[in-house]
Chains A and B, each alone.
Chain A
């Protein structure tokens, strides 16, 4: 019995391993599928929907869908790219994203994905929601204006830190990231060394006194689009 799962992504043959999702198999094969909520140290969540691919013609989130033998996956198609642009634009207008003064700018996955998708301005009207900042903790702050509700902090706090600092409250457009305390982050057992603090893809959870440390021009996504590291694997394999 073979222990690999052959399938294709945009016509390219890929070998997945048992238990892998489409996204994980694609990463190993050097094919980048855009994602925001997915993170290699966390169990799949499937909320941002940016990794939506078509599996045998049906839309599925690549981060939650196990790979199966012979499946035909479409990833980089004009239709899916258009939907992904739409989703990223939705996230931009849903919150208050001021890249020009955000500490995370240049290292922000939302911003980087927008760059990669060539978004010049969102087509949707800005919602300008009223959200708050909680800087009560001595070492960490939450700026809910920037939160994209990806649950990375929720999962990391629970599964990696063995705590329960973050969870969502409310539903629909009133859904918010919330904390295990009546009101203030300082009243939780969050520690600056927690994985939940560093795993935020945007600038919603930040360590204090560490902003703007890397000069413009040397940041993660200043020169190379997000996903370049994954795609480099395939380029290297092709050369070898």
Chain B
């Protein structure tokens, strides 16, 4: 038996040859053998009793998984617009020069691969990159050269961390240079809670009373959609099925969002407490924390905290001595797919499948993970739950605005004096936030990340809450020197890269939107293109199957609504018989080079 075969058998056995644990299996195989090769696909399929193409389907879906060997060290540069604004372009070139390869390539000795990756949740300390599981922040061209030299010398990315970040970033299990950047603490999330105090209060009540309290608090989901959490729990509790599941969505992938990073680093106890309360309320024994692959560096700490809670009786059999209530949490690591932040995609991924969204109905509360009633909530939502049970629903409902009780964490980045995480009561005016972060002169603000809305000064008096400027928490600020059309281009590139490809409008429509925006940016746009963009954006928005495609045209629609003059200045009526999108020079260039003769019909 080959080493590969033996290794794969062993890995599959660790996960009980259960094909629904495919994500763990293929990640373990890749960690051990460098990639999930063609032979490995067959061996895994055989071990877990599925078809080879099913394994291949999963592996080919996720950015961090590969069927081809890569370097022992993979440097993933964050391609987000914020990183670009803060100098990622020259940094990337410095990496290329130092390594002697282009982004997308592996050094000839097979040691180091250089790649782009979507937002890694470090916009407050951009430009940043992930090297294997080690995060490196505040990159510069000098640092890029030093990093390459160090990697060449030691081959160990962990040796790149010289100065540790604050709080648990300095924990021996983390040892990361990441900073929390907590800039404003509020009463709900960024406050102390002795482990177990909220859970014990919840266990003193009946599950129905717990749900009643969450409903009374009027807590709405913090992921962005704002569905009432208590109602979701009630549906899940009432759905038929012995086995029920609590899932925490920690796949924070919206570019410009990093608040969950800070919660997971500093307030994981609060989060796990909220998940356990949810488990008690809906009647679940199993919890899953779906952690985005980019945050793998925190996993040892999170595993440790889970163990501490088990040892303290806050997880496991008869939680807090409560008879009949067993509850435990496992961590499911993602592998680079923004769409898995969509709750049904996330469930698919937990099941070991491609991260395709599922058809609704049935909703996860009816049929979710492996067909079981499942409640999926955001990291921040579970934190709110723990606080609500500790301080009471009335206390919580008093904070914030009428339709949006409680506080909200905002991840603030871009052109401002103090990027970081801010906890405000819901209903805070955008202008107040801009003042506090040192960005009163902002020319444009992306509220809610790319899938949210790009607003200009005319909207700064609006308030941040579900019924006005709704947001999952990302606030990206642009000053007057930034080109908003270019920003939109970057966001569309992101959606094109991250679309799962399941449905037509999102798979094709986003590519077409990007092409047209690029035409306009390059001076190839006509006034008619604005109507083209609007119609195309609407088709994608109306007909897409999940939240990704339903919101991916928002940057374009925001441009048309709030920054129309910028677009109008870029387009010009057709000057001659050619369409401006037809570039005769580009069409002839390659032939001229190949033949070695210039066109006499169309001279430059």
Please report the C-alpha to C-alpha distance between residue A66 and residue B366 in the assembled complex, in whole angstroms.
Answer: 15
Nearest B residue (CB) for A163: B51
Contact of B359 among A64, A148, A172, A174 (CB under 8 A): A64
- Complex contacts, A52 vs chain B, CB 8 Å: 542-543
Contact of B512 among A90, A164, A174, A175 (CB under 8 A): A90
- Complex contacts, A172 vs chain B, CB 8 Å: 496-501, 507
Cβ-defined contact, B504 with A87, below 8 A? yes
Stretch touching chain B among A113-121, A122-130, A212-220, A229-237: A122-130
Task: Give the Cβ gap from B321 to chain A, nearest Cβ, in Å.
Answer: 44
Is B52 among interface residues, defined by CB-CB distance under 8 A? Answer: yes
Cβ-defined contact, B504 with A168, below 8 A? no
Cβ-defined contact, A47 with B502, below 8 A? yes
Cβ-defined contact, A90 with B505, below 8 A? yes
Q: Mark A25-66, 1 if CB is under 8 A from B, else 0.
A: 000000000000000000011111110100000010100111
Please report the C-alpha to C-alpha distance between residue A61 and residue B500 in the assembled complex, in whole angstroms.
Answer: 18
Is A99 among interface residues, defined by CB-CB distance under 8 A? Answer: no
Cβ-defined contact, A169 with B536, below 8 A? no
Stretch touching chain A among B55-63, B264-272, B432-440: B55-63
Contact of B354 among A83, A91, A171 (CB under 8 A): A171
Please report the C-alpha to C-alpha distance between residue A82 and residue B535 in the assembled complex, in whole angstroms.
Answer: 9
Cβ-defined contact, B60 with A182, below 8 A? no
Is A5 among interface residues, defined by CB-CB distance under 8 A? Answer: no
Cβ-defined contact, A180 with B359, below 8 A? no
- Complex contacts, A6 vs chain B, CB 8 Å: none
Cβ-defined contact, A167 with B507, below 8 A? no
Contacts of B494-531 to chain A: CB distance below 8 A: 496-505, 507-509, 511-512, 515
- Complex contacts, A182 vs chain B, CB 8 Å: 38
A173-B504 contact, Cβ under 8 Å, with A46-B359, A46-B545, A49-B544: no
Please report the C-alpha to C-alpha distance between residue A170 and residue B38 in the assembled complex, in whole angstroms.
Answer: 15
- Complex contacts, A181 vs chain B, CB 8 Å: 52-53
Cβ-defined contact, A83 with B51, below 8 A? no
State the interface size on chain B (CB cutoff 8 A).
43
Contact of A46 among B497, B503, B581 (CB under 8 A): B503
Cβ-defined contact, A173 with B545, below 8 A? no
Is B395 among interface residues, defined by CB-CB distance under 8 A? Answer: no
Is A22 among interface residues, defined by CB-CB distance under 8 A? Answer: no
Is A149 among interface residues, defined by CB-CB distance under 8 A? Answer: yes
Nearest B residue (CB) for A65: B361
Cβ-defined contact, A171 with B500, below 8 A? yes
Task: Give the Cβ gap from B506 to chain A, nearest Cβ, in Å.
Answer: 8
Taking each of A149, A172, A173, which has the highest tally of chain B beta carbons within 10 Å of its own beta carbon?
A172
Nearest B residue (CB) for A148: B504
- Complex contacts, A59 vs chain B, CB 8 Å: 542-543
A90-B508 contact, Cβ under 8 Å, with A180-B51, A180-B53: yes
Please report the C-alpha to C-alpha distance between residue A129 and residue B355 in the assembled complex, in whole angstroms.
Answer: 24
Cβ-defined contact, A66 with B361, below 8 A? yes
Please report the C-alpha to C-alpha distance between residue A169 and residue B356 in the assembled complex, in whole angstroms.
Answer: 12
Nearest A residue (CB) for B540: A86
Contact of B60 among A93, A170, A179 (CB under 8 A): A170
Contact of A168 among B57, B337, B503 (CB under 8 A): B57
Nearest A residue (CB) for B361: A66
Is B84 among interface residues, defined by CB-CB distance under 8 A? Answer: no
Contacts of A179-202 to chain B: CB distance below 8 A: 179-182
- Complex contacts, B499 vs chain A, CB 8 Å: 171-173
Nearest A residue (CB) for B56: A169
Contact of B504 among A47, A127, A167, A171 (CB under 8 A): A47
A167-B51 contact, Cβ under 8 Å, with A46-B545, A83-B539, A90-B504: yes
Task: Give the Cβ gap from A102 to chain B, nearest Cβ, in Å.
Answer: 20
Is B532 among interface residues, defined by CB-CB distance under 8 A? Answer: yes
Q: Which residues of A contact B (CB under 8 A)?
A: 44-50, 52, 59, 61, 64-66, 82-83, 86-87, 90-91, 93-94, 123-125, 127, 148-149, 164, 166-175, 178-182
Q: Which residues of B contact A (CB under 8 A)?
A: 38, 50-54, 56-57, 60-61, 337, 339, 354-355, 359-361, 496-505, 507-509, 511-512, 515, 532, 535-536, 538-539, 542-545, 581
